[in-house]
Structure 1
Amino acid sequence: MRQTARLGRIAGIPIGVHWSVFVIMLLLVQGLASVVLPSGARGHATVVYWGVAVVVAALFLAALLAHELAHALVARHYGVRVRAITLWMLGGVSELDGEAPHPRADLLIALAGPVVSLAGAGVFAACAAAASASGAGPLAVTGLAWLAVVNVILGGFNLLPGAPLDGGRVLAAILWWVRRDRASARRTAGRAGMVLGALLIIGGLVEMLLAANLSGLWLTVLGWFVLLAARAETTDVTLRKTLAGVRVGDIMTAPAAYGYTSQSVANFVATVARHHPHRVFPVLDLDGQLVGLVSLTRLAKVPSTDRERTRLGDVTAPVDRTRVLDPAVPLTDAAPAMLAGGHRLAPVVANGRLTGIVTPGDVARATELAELGITPDRGGGDADTSGTTRW
């Protein structure tokens, strides 16, 4: 998941937030300030409720981060590299680079987050009790009690037995230990996640339709996320088994068709775009370095009267927004993101030069060939830029 804002590092792990966090935080603060806190502590000024709500919401965000940090630190203990932690609307994501070495490690990594959340609930409950006993006031007690309840819900919900929830990973770890087959265990956990997601969606719809309660909308959204993520995990397992040993260079389209930053939009459309079936093309500078990508949609926005004098570089999306692949990278590392959508084309670069391109269609074709027992191979794994088409 792409980070909208970087918060810094904890234990060397990059921490960031997705833009959706700001939306959910605003909703949380509004709900706390207008409903939860006034119902538990009457008689305070509106500004006081909003101030306390901001503090409580910030503590909740810290609890989410602690949950994900627990996963990440235990994973790193077992030799799994952690690329980053990103907080978003429905929780957090620890981006792990690799897999646990054995079922016990997988189990402990999965359990770490819920254990921290439940322990956090105990801490907040104890603080609420202490605040009540010391006469700190109902406002503090209400906020701390809310944090305790929410952390119980966070820990308990994550233990439901279905991927991508932590409970699904617990289930996969146990099945891996019993069956001695990691892939089979992950597929079962993925199917369980799809069933769980469907049940959550049905429950949310029933709540909205029969109880006329709009809170069921959140349950429906959550179920939809669980369903899609579980399906993606199941697909990922299949891809890893089917495409084992296949590299990006084996399936890429080469030579690649591309344009230059100094080329006019009219010239590029006439000499390149009209002759190739792609909707997105790499763009290079005069030194042959990849600058970014340009799409037919973006080109169509240039008025026809301006296409002769508009340079391709003026309408190119920068390379930092582009997924760039290495031909030697295993296809299993690139395939899930390509098939999940959002990546219509990925340039393949070797030694600083454009070597080819990979599209979702290339990945789908490679998968279908592998399922037929044929290893995809276009001989591009060691290709250089001599095979690149210039225009």
Structure 2
Amino acid sequence: MGQTARLGRIAGIPVGVHWSVFVIMLLLVQGLAVVILPGGAPGHAAAVYWAVAVVVAVVFLSALLAHELGHSLVARHYGVRVRAITLWLLGGVSQLDGEAPHARADLLIALAGPVVSLVGAGVFAAAAAVVHALGGGALAVTGLVWLAVVNVLLGVFNLLPGAPLDGGRVLAAVLWWVRGDRASARRAAARAGIALGGVLIAAGFLQVLLTANFRGLWPVLLGWFLVLAARAEAVDTVVRNTLAGVRVGDVMTTPAVCGYTSQSVADFVATVARRHPHRTFPVLDLDGHVAGLVSLTRLGKVPSADRERVRLADVSAPVDPARLLNPATTLVDAAAALPAGGHRLAPVVTEGRLAGIVTHGDVARATELAELGIAPHRDGPAEQDRP
């Protein structure tokens, strides 16, 4: 799950949001300001409802973050490094760098988030009761009650037995405990997640057809996200199982075709881009360090009349340091470092200098070879997969 925007760090963990959070926040604020708050506390100006709705929605987002921190802190307790936390439509994802040491740890990591949400629901409910007893405003009570209810729903929904929900991870941990096979347990949880998503989609469409109420599109949307995420979990499980022990240096393409920051766009197009069937290329500075990536799309945006004057340094995109791989990096970690879209390429560096590149094509080929029982390895220069 990629981050559309970064929010900062908490306990040293990078925190960000997926674009779907902005959609859900907008809908929540609108629902609170127009329906929930006026219904529970009538008689206020519209501006007041909208202001309180924004505050309540931000507190809700904080509750989602607390849910994920629950997972992350328990994971750290068991020695699992947390790469990042990303909030999205279905709550959030704690990106763990490594595996739980045993099924019990996997189970406790999975349960930590729902427990935090249910405890949070109790805190909000108690706060609502205290505010009401002290004669506080109905607007504050309504907001707190809503937060209590949605945290209960968040905790219960996430316990549904299907990956990538927490309930799917609970299912996988239990099956691992019973069967002793982690990979098989995760595949079963992913299949359960796909089935659960299909049920939500069907139920949503049925609601729309039978009641003519477009609120049924909510479970359709949730089901759709769940199916996509569950399929991604299934692919990740296959990759981790088949590529165990394979390193980036075994499959990287080398020597990598590249350009230089001082090179003109016209010269690069004539001598490199037109001669090689690739869409993206690393760009090196005069010291041989990776300075960025340039794509045919970016080159195409330079007017023909300016291509002699414009240098690759002017049109190349910067490279996130996390995308720079080492030949000793496992291919599983390399797959996680490759972006889902855009350049779809990660440079491989040794002592700061370009040693090769890894693309989604390299990972896919290595996976297919591994499934055939063939250990992927590199025998000299190879034709580069097209990123």
What range is the shorter-chain TM-score in? over 0.9
2:34 is matched with: 34
Deviation, 1:188, is: 0.5
Give me the whole-angstrom Cα distance separating, in 2, the residues matched to 1:255 and 1:368: 23
1:229 maps to 2:238: no
Q: What amino acid is the match of 2:225?
A: F
CA RMSD of aligned residues (A): 2.1
- Unmatched segments (≥5 aa) in structure 2: 382-387
8 Å CA contact 2:326–2:348 kept in 1: the answer is: yes
8 Å CA contact 1:249–1:379 kept in 2: the answer is: no
1:273 is matched with: 273
1:85 is matched with: 85
User: Which region of structure 1 is more displaced relative to structure 2, 145-154 or 362-371?
Assistant: 362-371
Give me the whole-angstrom Cα distance separating, in 1, the residues matched to 2:309 and 2:8: 43
Alpha carbons of 1:343 and 1:183: their partners in 2 closer, same or farther (altered >3 Å)?
Answer: farther
2:139 is matched with: 139
2:13 is matched with: 13
Alignment of structure 1 residues 193-204 onto 2, 5 Å: 193-204=193-204
8 Å CA contact 2:339–2:345 kept in 1: the answer is: no
Give percent identity, aligned residues only.
77
Give me the whole-angstrom Cα distance separating, in 2, the residues matched to 1:363 and 1:6: 27
1:56 is matched with: 56
Alignment of structure 1 residues 213-228 onto 2, 5 Å: 213-228=213-228
For 1:140-169, what per-residue CA distance to the aligned partner results, in whole angstroms no more than 9, with x for missing partners? Answer: 221111111101110000000000000000
Give me the whole-angstrom Cα distance separating, in 1, the residues matched to 2:88 and 2:194: 21
The TM-score with structure 1 as length reference comes to 0.92
1:386 is matched with: none
Give me the whole-angstrom Cα distance separating, in 1, the residues matched to 2:263 and 2:97: 39
2:364 is matched with: 364
8 Å CA contact 2:163–2:233 kept in 1: the answer is: yes
Give me the whole-angstrom Cα distance separating, in 2, the residues matched to 1:116 and 1:37: 25
2:294 is matched with: 294
1:159 is matched with: 159
For 1:293-335, what per-residue CA distance to the aligned partner results, in whole angstroms no more than 9, with x for missing partners? Answer: 1111111121222222221111111123882221110101122
Deviation, 1:340, is: 4.6
Alpha carbons of 1:379 and 1:351: their partners in 2 closer, same or farther (altered >3 Å)?
Answer: farther
1:210 is matched with: 210
2:98 is matched with: 98
User: Which region of structure 1 is more displaced relative to structure 2, 155-164 or 323-332?
Assistant: 323-332
For 1:155-205, what per-residue CA distance to the aligned partner results, in whole angstroms no more than 9, with x for missing partners? Answer: 000000000000000000000000001111011001101111111122222
Alpha carbons of 1:342 and 1:311: their partners in 2 closer, same or farther (altered >3 Å)?
Answer: closer
Q: What amino acid is the match of 1:14?
A: P
Q: What amino acid is the match of 2:165?
A: L
The TM-score with structure 2 as length reference comes to 0.93
User: When the two structures are aligned, how many residues end up with a matched partner?
Assistant: 382
